[in-house]
Amino acid sequence: MLALNTLSNNQKQQLRNAFTLIDGESRDSIITKTDLINLYQQLGLPVPLDDQLNGMLKNSEGINFAQFLQTMAEELLVFEDRNTIYNALKLFAEEADYNRVSEELIIDVDRLKDACCSVQLGEIGSGDHRLTRQTFDELVKGFVLEQTDGKKLFLTGKWLDAYID
């Protein structure tokens, strides 16, 4: 329910319009597999496999507007979380290291580590609750590209895909 509270009235109305569009000609207030197939065909897109369609419908015969609204609100929260983290990480990418085509941020790992490991995570006066350098290294393991000059780069997009989506 928390996700629904984050939607504005305008967003709810836009989602109502989208629901009506997807519901299609049946106008039965339920999005069914047939509705999804018709939508993909009308858009000229390849129709997903049966198991993918079932996944969209959460393996039920169909979803009503309340279920659709809840699902979309949850998806929008993930999108917001991703954008927030992306924008925070963007602060560590120098202008020259920002690939505008792919929007991939290229960040010096040591610079990011210094910043992340210097922030106090607990309440003031509750002891030292900083992220250790060893824990940081574990969290970014597999998402670091070491260059020939010894510089290590954090692969932001891959990390976000793995942890946020």
Res. 126: pLDDT tops 70: no
pLDDT at 123 over 70: no
Domain ranges of the chain: 2-82, 91-163
**pTM of the full predicted structure?**
0.53
Backbone angles phi, psi at 153, to 5 degrees: -115, 135
CATH T-level assignment (fold) for domain 2-82: Recoverin; domain 1 (1.10.238)
SS (H, E, C) the chain: CHHHHCCCHHHHHHHHHHHHHHHHHHCCCCEEHHHHHHHHHHCCCCCCCHHHHHHHCCCCCEECHHHHHHHHHHHHHHHHHHHHHHHHHHCCCCHHHEECCCCEEEEEHHHHHHHHCCCECCCCCCCCCECCHHHHHHHHCCCEEECCCCCEEEEHHHHHHHHCC
For position 60, what pLDDT does the model report? 83
What is the per-residue pLDDT across 23-35, written as a single tens digit (0 to 9) for each?
A: 988 889 999 999 9
Can you tell me the distance from the alpha carbon of 49 to that of 55, in angstroms, rounded to the nearest whole number? Answer: 10
